[in-house]
A and B are shown apart, each in its own frame.
Chain A
Amino acid sequence: MSATGHHRYVSSDRRVREDRRFVAGKGNFVADVELPNMKHVAVVTCPHAAARIKSIDKSAALAMPGVHYVVDGAELAAATLPLMTGLDTPNVPRRPLALDVARYSGEWVAAVVADSRAQAEDAAEAIEIDYEALPFVLDAEQALEHGSPLVHEAHGSNVLLDKTFVWGEVEKDFAAAPRKLSLRVKWGRSSTVPIETFGVVASWDPWRDMLDVHASIQMPRYADQIGIALKIPATSVRVHHDVDVGGSYGVKRGIKHTVLCGYLSRRLGFPVRLIEDRLENMRGGDAHGPERLFDVEVAFDDQGIVRSMKMRALENVGAYAGRSPFQLGKPIGAIVGPYKIASVEYRAIAVVTNKTTQDAVRGFGQGPTNLALERTMDEVANVLGLDPLEVRKRNLIRHDEFPYLIPSGTTYDSGNYETVIAKVLADTGYDDLKAERDRLRAAGKLAGIGMAACLEPSGGNATFEALLNPAITTSTFMDSCRINIDGMGAITATMHTTSSGQGHETLLGTVIGEVLQVDPDMVRVTRPDSLNSLPSGTPVGSRMAIMLGGAAFHAANKLKAKLTAIGAHDLGIPLERAVYQDGSVSDRDAPQNKRAWADLVQIAFRNYHRMPPGFEPGLAVEHVYQVPTGGTLPTPDGRVQMYPCFSFEFHLLLLSIDPDLGRPEIVRYRLGHDCGTQINPKIVRGMTMGGIAHGIGAALYEEFAYNDDGQLIAQSFMDYLLPSSHEVPAVDIVDHETPSPHTVLGQKGSGESGYLGAPAAIANAVNDAIRGLGISINTLPIKVSTLGDLIAAAQEAAKVKKGN
């Protein structure tokens, strides 16, 4: 099925069609949507890490100018169902507004509706709530301890998930291996924090039984979840997919915001809008990312060949389940990274604590796992006195070993890791890089080289759900495309979800243009609302190039086949003699006999008497595309084909640290990238660079830190530091192309690998830089203050030792 050879539009350096509206400030963001008589919501939040809500006095707020309504948790809970979660934890209900007990500082307790947002904020301050502070727990390990405060008393413990998988002869491999090493690695709590906060406008029409939803959403089954929670059919929910989403990278999942506003609009009879401010977004928006503690143990030999691995991952999911526990599941599909580790034991534990609820973040848990794996590879090299590059090379899956089955049951599709690495080293030269590091060291800097390989599982498949919760039996995660050629011969294609910067309209135009051999700019792309949509899994799991691209490819081929059949029939020749080229159909044996595009359209739309017998009139097709390699459930021993495609990246960088300040600076950054066929190289490069920028943030700057009272202390962009243009260095990207055998054009995913590899490479570079001082650091983010203190203490200790 894979195309080979030359493409006409695919992989060419074409512009991204979405860009025109954005550079003129003419995007259609949710905050730009203004409906007649629309009112505004502000939320009231709990100031305690945990508290019982004893009473809520709304009277002063209701008396304020412009105020229409105040809703609390009791009223909302009586009218709606708890939000959907993936785990069977009925005693951990999640609701938009806290009911009786609030479980983290910043959790929503009540909401005000007023004529303006300013009036709603004023009134929110006037609501008097009597709280009884409760014991709380913030740390995941403490939450596991017997006697810890329980976040959800009725659940009986703080553990949402504790599952151990053993793939292969782990104990035997450990017993046989001459060397073992263990390492504790922590990925700190951060997130993707888009510049646009989450927002929603909900508008109920009682005469049509219709809830219109405009939202900056990126989430599968959004309309379903709204309908279930509000107890209305999903056919009474119309989600407008033509809203442009101002960045998401996984986290824009404002289901609680939507249920709240949907309820209010039905209750009050006018459109209701909630646009988070930055504080609401960072504290109560339920959009934090993983906070994960790893204990890794590996068994290896004197050559550095890693035979087996035991990994325990403890995830602090915050106060409610969200999607977070499943983020322990996706990494199972690439649990050994690009290495030939023969057996693995993996224990995944998710605990609740009194912190903000998490949701899906770029890579869905793969970034933290990759950090643990790549830090471990460096330490194996370190204890053996080997070069970390050499150790990686010895363990890599070789090009001639694909398709490669890993212990957890997933078969990697294709790869050429050794060539990508060779390309990265070719220009810089590893020895030159080491020489530059040594020059920096000689000049008094602490300098280190860091590297990380990483795999980007792509094609999005929800099998991790079934793996972690056997009650779920989902074995597909489809996407769809409909194409219609109208009576004038113009082409319109549809996609059925929102975009948050990934260029999906460009993707559809390019793929359909390629198949039909027409200029991609001639293909109009629209986004019908959810009631007019075919199934879409939405832009998660690096899947759209593969899945939406695949759906468009197949739909376009159906059209091409129909056009060819119409042409052959009208030419009076057998189908096998008909040649489709550039929109025309001709006779292979007499090329002068042909039917042009306009002729074919004329026949399909107006000359049914010339159509092949039994054909539908018109030129409308659709295709619902199944995930390649999908369709199976996990085996009883926990093996599963997780994602279909695996992109590969190799990060190599040189980092210098000012020894007095502890301030790290990335001096050189070189990247090898292989995501198979690149449908649009501009988009792929942007995604890769953006991922690296996110990774730099997660590695060095960004943290949702809490104080001992359970207060989130990173509440603004002055405390939560996003990388600016100064912090993101120029990166040399070297491309390689190993097509996937499973996809229509050989494409793989490219949205995540920058983020999956950069933190590990940076952590390895920092450790290479400070190893000479006898210290190491395995907790992200590696903040300037922490690093500076650590270096100063080590230098002080060295001086004392020297003095003695």
Chain B
Amino acid sequence: MRIELNVNGAVHEIEVEPRTTLLDCLRDRLDLKGAHAGCEHGVCGACTVLFDGAAVRSCLMFAAQAAGSAITTIEGVTPGPGELSPIQDAFCETHGLQCGYCTPAMIMAAHALLAGNPAPTREEIVEAISGNICRCTGYAQIVEAIALAAERMRGVNRPRSLTE
């Protein structure tokens, strides 16, 4: 079947089998390799992308179901070649990752959280990433990365008198 997908602000017309998952479509058809397959049954969260701004598992939905919505992947939140977003940079600052396999999805979950909650508590961060399994880090440096990113993003564009 032929579908139209809006991914990272660009519209693609793609011919897919109806059974093709959004994850496979992103990786195999659009060459967006940042979303990863971990369990392919909706538990580990390594395939997380944004669906109209909400963090969803791209392994659990068909590509055809995403037609008409705005899909954002890790490639879509990376500002430019070699440039990092504040969240990506914060993950580097705290070393909130090791092998890097769950990382893009973890960052997408963080984007979804911080878009609606610029000052999350530790508990809110823990809750927001609780659907994303990381086997390397034990989560401590991930939680710190998201808290650091939130703090830095809150400071952006604020009058000096308020930040001091």
Q: What sequence of 0s and 1s flags, for each residue 72-112 of chain B, a beta carbon within 8 Å of any chain A beta carbon?
A: 01110010000010001101111101111111100100000
Listed residue (B46, B75, B133) with the most chain A CB atoms within 10 angstroms of its CB:
B133
Give the residues from 91 to 118 in chain A that come closer than 8 angstroms, CB to CB, to chain B. 118
Q: What sequence of 0s and 1s flags, for each residue 673-711 of chain A, a beta carbon within 8 Å of any chain B beta carbon?
A: 000000000110111111111100000000000000000
Contact A18 B100 (CB under 8 A): yes
Contact B139 A728 (CB under 8 A): yes
Q: Which residues of the partner chain A approach B75 to less than 8 Å between Cβ atoms?
A: 24-25
Contact A23 B41 (CB under 8 A): no
Task: Choose one: B38, B41, B78, B93; the contact of A25 (CB below 8 Å).
Answer: B78
- The answer, yes or no, to whether B138 is at the interface (CB within 8 Å) is yes
Contact B44 A717 (CB under 8 A): yes
Nearest chain-B residue to A716 (Cβ)?
B41
Q: Main secondary structure on chain A at its contact with chain B? A: loop
A68-76, A499-507, A762-770 - the one binding chain B: A499-507
With contact pairs A25-B34, A195-B38 given, residues A725 and B44 touching in the complex (Cβ less than 8 Å): no
CA distance A691 to B43 in the complex (A): 21
- The answer, yes or no, to whether B19 is at the interface (CB within 8 Å) is yes
Contact B140 A730 (CB under 8 A): yes
With contact pairs A22-B100, A31-B36 given, residues A692 and B138 touching in the complex (Cβ less than 8 Å): yes
With contact pairs A195-B44, A718-B43, A730-B140 given, residues A19 and B97 touching in the complex (Cβ less than 8 Å): yes
- The answer, yes or no, to whether A722 is at the interface (CB within 8 Å) is yes
Contact B39 A24 (CB under 8 A): no
Contact B100 A717 (CB under 8 A): no
Contact A29 B36 (CB under 8 A): yes
Q: Which residues of the partner chain A approach B140 to less than 8 Å between Cβ atoms?
A: 685, 689, 728, 730-731
Q: Which residues of the partner chain B approach A193 to less than 8 Å between Cβ atoms?
A: 135
- The answer, yes or no, to whether B147 is at the interface (CB within 8 Å) is no
CA distance A689 to B134 in the complex (A): 11
With contact pairs A718-B41, A722-B133 given, residues A754 and B138 touching in the complex (Cβ less than 8 Å): yes
CA distance A15 to B133 in the complex (A): 23
Contact A689 B39 (CB under 8 A): no
Q: What sequence of 0s and 1s flags, for each residue 114-129 of chain B, a beta carbon within 8 Å of any chain A beta carbon?
A: 0000000010001101
Q: Which residues of the partner chain B approach A146 to less than 8 Å between Cβ atoms?
A: none
Contact B136 A247 (CB under 8 A): yes
Contact B44 A722 (CB under 8 A): yes
Q: How many residues of chain B are within 8 Å of chain A by beta carbon?
A: 55
Give the residues from 573 to 602 in chain A that come closer than 8 angstroms, CB to CB, to chain B. none
CA distance A453 to B95 in the complex (A): 27
With contact pairs A686-B136, A690-B138 given, residues A23 and B99 touching in the complex (Cβ less than 8 Å): no
Q: What sequence of 0s and 1s flags, for each residue 135-173 of chain A, a beta carbon within 8 Å of any chain B beta carbon?
A: 000000000000000000000000000000000000000
CA distance A193 to B133 in the complex (A): 11
Task: Choose one: B34, B37, B44, B137; the contact of A686 (CB below 8 Å).
Answer: B137
Task: Choose one: A18, A197, A725; the contact of B126 (CB below 8 Å).
Answer: A725
Contact B133 A195 (CB under 8 A): yes
Contact A717 B129 (CB under 8 A): no
Q: Which residues of the partner chain B approach A195 to less than 8 Å between Cβ atoms?
A: 36, 38-39, 44, 46, 101-102, 133-135
Contact A693 B137 (CB under 8 A): yes
Contact A501 B100 (CB under 8 A): yes
Q: Which residues of the partner chain B approach A731 to less than 8 Å between Cβ atoms?
A: 138, 140
Contact B84 A23 (CB under 8 A): yes
CA distance A685 to B137 in the complex (A): 9
Task: Choose one: A22, A502, A690, A724; the contact of B103 (CB below 8 Å).
Answer: A22
Give the residues from 33 to 87 in chain B that come closer than 8 angstroms, CB to CB, to chain A. 33-41, 43-44, 46, 73-75, 78, 84
Task: Choose one: B46, B103, B126, B139; the contact of A23 (CB below 8 Å).
Answer: B103
Listed residue (B33, B40, B44, B73) with the most chain A CB atoms within 10 angstroms of its CB:
B33
CA distance A192 to B133 in the complex (A): 13
Listed residue (A31, A194, A247, A503) with the most chain B CB atoms within 10 angstroms of its CB:
A247
Q: Which residues of the partner chain A approach B84 to less than 8 Å between Cβ atoms?
A: 20, 23-24
Q: What sequence of 0s and 1s flags, for each residue 472-513 of chain A, a beta carbon within 8 Å of any chain B beta carbon?
A: 000000000000000000000000000011110000000000
Contact A20 B92 (CB under 8 A): yes
With contact pairs A247-B136, A717-B133, A725-B143 given, residues A19 and B17 touching in the complex (Cβ less than 8 Å): no
With contact pairs A196-B99, A247-B99 given, residues A689 and B137 touching in the complex (Cβ less than 8 Å): yes
Q: How many residues of chain A are within 8 Å of chain B by beta carbon?
A: 58
Q: Which residues of the partner chain A approach B37 to less than 8 Å between Cβ atoms?
A: 31, 197, 275
Task: Choose one: B40, B46, B137; the contact of A277 (CB below 8 Å).
Answer: B40
Q: Which residues of the partner chain B approach A15 to less than 8 Å between Cβ atoms?
A: 92-93, 95
Nearest chain-A residue to B85 (Cβ)?
A23
Contact A278 B98 (CB under 8 A): no
CA distance A686 to B91 in the complex (A): 12
- The answer, yes or no, to whether B6 is at the interface (CB within 8 Å) is no
Listed residue (B89, B138, B143) with the most chain A CB atoms within 10 angstroms of its CB:
B138
Give the residues from 716 to 758 in chain A that come closer than 8 angstroms, CB to CB, to chain B. 716-718, 722, 724-726, 728, 730-731, 754
- The answer, yes or no, to whether A32 is at the interface (CB within 8 Å) is yes
- The answer, yes or no, to whether A464 is at the interface (CB within 8 Å) is no
Listed residue (A24, A29, A689, A691) with the most chain B CB atoms within 10 angstroms of its CB:
A24
Q: Which residues of the partner chain A approach B43 to less than 8 Å between Cβ atoms?
A: 716-718
Contact B92 A246 (CB under 8 A): no
CA distance A16 to B100 in the complex (A): 12
Give the residues from 3 to 47 in chain B that come closer than 8 angstroms, CB to CB, to chain A. 17, 19, 27, 32-41, 43-44, 46
How distant is A363 from chain B, measured CB to nearest CB, in Å? 15
How distant is B51 from chain A, measured CB to nearest CB, in Å? 17
Contact B141 A278 (CB under 8 A): no
- The answer, yes or no, to whether A799 is at the interface (CB within 8 Å) is no
Contact A24 B36 (CB under 8 A): no
Contact B34 A26 (CB under 8 A): yes
Contact A118 B92 (CB under 8 A): no
Q: What sequence of 0s and 1s flags, for each residue 247-260 of chain A, a beta carbon within 8 Å of any chain B beta carbon?
A: 11100000000000
Contact B136 A24 (CB under 8 A): no
CA distance A245 to B34 in the complex (A): 14
Contact B99 A244 (CB under 8 A): yes
Q: Which residues of the partner chain B approach A728 to less than 8 Å between Cβ atoms?
A: 138-140
Contact A682 B141 (CB under 8 A): yes
CA distance A239 to B70 in the complex (A): 40
Contact A23 B101 (CB under 8 A): no
Contact B101 A247 (CB under 8 A): yes
CA distance A19 to B126 in the complex (A): 21
CA distance A646 to B56 in the complex (A): 44
- The answer, yes or no, to whether A638 is at the interface (CB within 8 Å) is no
Q: Which residues of the partner chain A approach B35 to less than 8 Å between Cβ atoms?
A: 25
How distant is B22 from chain A, measured CB to nearest CB, in Å? 15
With contact pairs A23-B84, A686-B136, A693-B137 given, residues A246 and B36 touching in the complex (Cβ less than 8 Å): yes
Q: Which residues of the partner chain B approach A502 to less than 8 Å between Cβ atoms?
A: 98
Contact B40 A24 (CB under 8 A): no
Task: Choose one: A24, A192, A687; the contact of B88 (CB below 8 Å).
Answer: A24
CA distance A126 to B110 in the complex (A): 43
- The answer, yes or no, to whether A21 is at the interface (CB within 8 Å) is yes
Q: Which residues of the partner chain B approach A16 to less than 8 Å between Cβ atoms?
A: 92, 95
Nearest chain-B residue to A199 (Cβ)?
B37
How distant is A685 from chain B, measured CB to nearest CB, in Å? 7
Q: Which residues of the partner chain A approach B97 to less than 8 Å between Cβ atoms?
A: 19, 22-23, 501
CA distance A606 to B134 in the complex (A): 51
Binding site for A on B (CB under 8 A): 17, 19, 27, 32-41, 43-44, 46, 73-75, 78, 84, 88-89, 91-95, 97-104, 107, 122, 126-127, 129-143
Q: Give 5 closest A-B pairs by Cβ, nearest first.
A: A25-B34, A22-B100, A246-B101, A501-B99, A501-B98
Q: List 7 A-B contacts (CB under 8 A).
A: A24-B74, A29-B36, A194-B135, A248-B99, A249-B135, A731-B138, A731-B140
Beyond A16-B92, A724-B131, list 16 extra A-B contacts (CB 8 Å).
A24-B75, A27-B101, A193-B135, A196-B38, A502-B98, A687-B98, A693-B138, A694-B135, A717-B44, A722-B135, A725-B139, A728-B138, A728-B140, A730-B122, A731-B138, A731-B140
